Amino acid sequence: MQIRTLLAIGAGLAMLSIASFANAVKPEDNQATREKGKQIYEQACLFCHGAEGKGDGPAGWFIGRYESPRPRDFAGGSYKFRSTPSGELPTDQDLFRTVTQGIPSNMPPFSGLSEEERWQVIAYVKTFNQAFKGAKPTALVLPNPPGPPSDAGIENGRKTYIKYGCQNCHGDNGYGDGKEALDGNLKDTYGLMISPGDLTERASLKNGSSAQALYRSIMTGLDGTPMPSYADTIGGNDKDVWDLVYYILTLSQEKP
Amino acid sequence: MAGRFAMSVQALVRLLSVAVPVVMIGLACWSPLLATPQSSSESTGPVIVGRVLYRGPVPAPIQIEVNRDPDVCGRTMSMTTLSVDAAIHGLQNAVVHVELGVGEVSAGIIASTPVIVQNKQCRFHPHVAAALMGAEVQIINDDPVMHNTNIIVDNSTALNVAMVAGGNTIKKRLKKSGLHFVKCNVHKFMQAYRLVFADPYFDQTTETGQFSIAGVSPGLHRITVWHETLGVMEKDVQVPARGTVIVDLEYK
């Protein structure tokens, strides 16, 4: 259990390192950068996200037609994967992370593009939504995880799982089979049916499965979905959240 | 005789000492009613007053079976989406907005009134409210169970926050205008609406369907009415430079 948890922490730290390095090669957001980004977008993104970024590309027409998720509507839709508070735009770093990692079962990782190319396409994607103009999205403070969890901490995490109502959607054992899911009550902001994450399958978690990624998802929520942000209501009770994160990691059946 | 006169004077003084304040208080209380909209509008420009009416059939409240937390929410939930005053057919909880052109909206108006979203007995209170963009929304959970408050504008999340039992009041700014649909994903029957405008020319109808909107500029303006189940209705109104325009808006 502790080895798996340490691996999850290690993966998170590795991603932080990648993100820090990526920031070092980020080109200036100017017309030339956006023009290059447009060329990449038309090759790599348009097929799903559409020429105007509305999530209505040739493939986007049928992807998510009857069940969430649809390809992201860059022009006005919600951004699920952020480090910012609920309802806010993502940071550039958030967009870079999603482009680099992809989204399990939905979007391939574009790590085949150079880092500069990824930044260029991000600069272009932001032109679809006027809200980005002049905006400076600010990430929540997402601390590094504390040391390896204790059994008492895991037990507190289990209680927190119930206190925060996680079982309503994710189920008692994290399989994504909570009552709200089974009753078909969970819908995205377009009214499409949406399934909660299966917490026992780390690889399937769309916003990442490292300890940091889980912490981030709990704090920011996933906009466009029923998953709410807990950042405000828990008011700095970090210990409960980390205990919850470690408890969720114990639900995974994956071997280290 | 002199004594009786003195007693009469004393009685008169006592009578006046009681009667004058009573009359003054009475006048003070009546003054808003006695003042005509014409006089009150002279300093602030024209006023649009009126009623939103509905004479159609009013459905009985819907009884929804509660599938979660019945100890707090009850076994069934009675939902009334159409509240009409039986005597004058006034429609409650409609939101009336006067649309002004570019340059006609007063600048520098600051939203000072907070917008409340109270989770109480598995309902959002109030069910409908109108607000100025930039206002602070305060979300409160008074229930001993968890809710979430998921506010959606134009198919996009404006705010989705977990409301743990006993958790903090959450305070955020309303950054977008438009119809804000408020829902709880834990209790699917919990729904509410906040209508957010970029200008202050709106009002929400009272129990008798009345509204009043002051401060609009003279000219031809379109009035838009929104209601949860009856939808949107529009009417053009000519607003004079001064005085009161009386407008009755009826859902057919």
Task: Please determine, for residue B74, whether its predicted confidence score (pLDDT) is greater than 90.
Answer: yes
Using an 8 Å CB-CB cutoff, list chain A residues near B164.
163-165, 230, 233-234
Share of chain A above pLDDT 70, in %: 89
Nearest CA in chain A to B180: A189
Please indicate, yes or no, whether residues B49 and B70 belong to a single structural domain of this protein: yes
Give the lowest-confidence range in A199-213, B19-33, B160-174. B19-33
Instruction: Report the residue count for chain B.
Output: 252
**Higher pLDDT among residues A60 and A193, named by residue:** A193
Please indicate, yes or no, whether residues B59 and B22 belong to a single structural domain of this protein: no
Please indicate, yes or no, whether residues B20 and B44 belong to a single structural domain of this protein: no
Could you tell me the two tokens for B233? 């209705």
Nearest CA in chain A to B155: A189
Tell if the CB–CB gap between B161 and A78 is shorter than 8 Å: no
Task: Please determine, for residue A11, whether its predicted confidence score (pLDDT) is greater than 60.
Answer: no
Nearest to B164 among A76, A168, A233 (CB): A233
Please indicate, yes or no, whether residues B10 and B61 belong to a single structural domain of this protein: no
Q: What is the DSSP code (8-state) at residue B90?
A: B
Nearest to B157 among A168, A223, A235 (CB): A223
Give the lowest-confidence range in A46-60, B32-46, B179-193. B32-46
Please indicate, yes or no, whether residues B101 and B17 belong to a single structural domain of this protein: no
Using an 8 Å CB-CB cutoff, list chain A residues near B162.
164-165, 221, 228-230, 233
Q: Across residues B178-194, what is the average pLDDT?
A: 95
Minimum distance, in Å, between the CA of residue A234 and any CA atom of chain B? 6
Query: What is the ipTM score, two decimals?
Result: 0.86
Task: Please determine, for residue A61, whether its predicted confidence score (pLDDT) is greater than 90.
Answer: no
Residue A66 pLDDT: 78
Could you give all domains of chain A from N- to C-terminal order, each with its CATH number?
A: 7-132 (1.10.760), 142-251 (1.10.760.10)
Structural domains counted in chain B? 2
B51, B205 contact by CB (below 8 A): yes
Give the lowest-confidence range in A27-31, B99-103, B126-130. B99-103
Q: What is the DSSP code (8-state) at residue A204?
A: G
Please indicate, yes or no, whether residues B87 and B168 belong to a single structural domain of this protein: yes
B119, B183 contact by CB (below 8 A): no
Q: List, for residues A62-93, the tens digit of each pLDDT value.
A: 787 777 888 999 998 899 999 999 999 999 99
d(CA B121, CA B73): 5
3-class SS shares of chain B: helix, strand, coil, % to 5: 15, 45, 40
Residue A15 pLDDT: 52
Q: Which helix H or strand E contains A241, and what residues bound it?
A: helix A238-251
For chain A, how many helices (H) and strands (E)?
10, 0
B12: containing domain:
1-34
Peptide bond into B126 cis (omega under 30): yes
Nearest to B161 among A86, A179, A180 (CB): A86
Could you tell me the two tokens for A246? 């470690």
Give the end-to-end CA distance of chain B in Å, rounded to a whole number.
75
Residue B176 pLDDT: 92
CATH number at residue B96: 2.60.40.420
Residue A70 pLDDT: 87
Using an 8 Å CB-CB cutoff, list chain B residues near A180.
185-186
Residue A194 pLDDT: 94
**Cα–Cα distances in angstroms (integers) from residue B91 to residues A77, B118, B134, B158, in the given order:** 34, 23, 28, 29
Nearest CA in chain A to B176: A87
Minimum distance, in Å, between the CA of residue A240 and any CA atom of chain B? 13
Mean pLDDT for chain B? 84
Q: B89: which residues sit within 8 A by CB, 6+ positions away? A: B53, B54, B55, B209
Peptide bond into A226 cis (omega under 30): no
Q: Across residues A125-151, what is the average pLDDT?
A: 91
Q: In angstroms, how far apart are the furthest CA atoms of chain A? A: 55
Please indicate, yes or no, whether residues B14 and B117 belong to a single structural domain of this protein: no
Please indicate, yes or no, whether residues B96 and B188 belong to a single structural domain of this protein: yes
Q: List, for residues B114-148, the tens digit of each pLDDT value.
A: 999 999 999 999 999 999 999 999 999 999 999 99
Please indicate, yes or no, whether residues B87 and B25 belong to a single structural domain of this protein: no
Q: Across residues A24-50, what is the average pLDDT?
A: 93
**Higher pLDDT among residues A9 and B230, named by residue:** B230
Please indicate, yes or no, whether residues B170 and B85 belong to a single structural domain of this protein: yes
Minimum distance, in Å, between the CA of residue B225 and any CA atom of chain A? 24
Report which of A175, A168, A177, A144 is spatially closest to residue A245, judged by C-alpha positions. Answer: A144
Could you tell me the two tokens for A67? 């069940």
Please indicate, yes or no, whether residues B26 and B50 belong to a single structural domain of this protein: no
Please indicate, yes or no, whether residues B143 and B194 belong to a single structural domain of this protein: yes
Task: Please determine, for residue B73, whether its predicted confidence score (pLDDT) is greater than 70.
Answer: yes
Task: Please determine, for residue A20, whether its predicted confidence score (pLDDT) is greater than 70.
Answer: no
Extended strands (E) in chain B? 47-54, 62-65, 76-79, 95-99, 115-120, 123-125, 128-132, 136-141, 147-153, 156-163, 170-173, 178-183, 191-197, 202-204, 210-214, 219-227, 231-239, 244-251
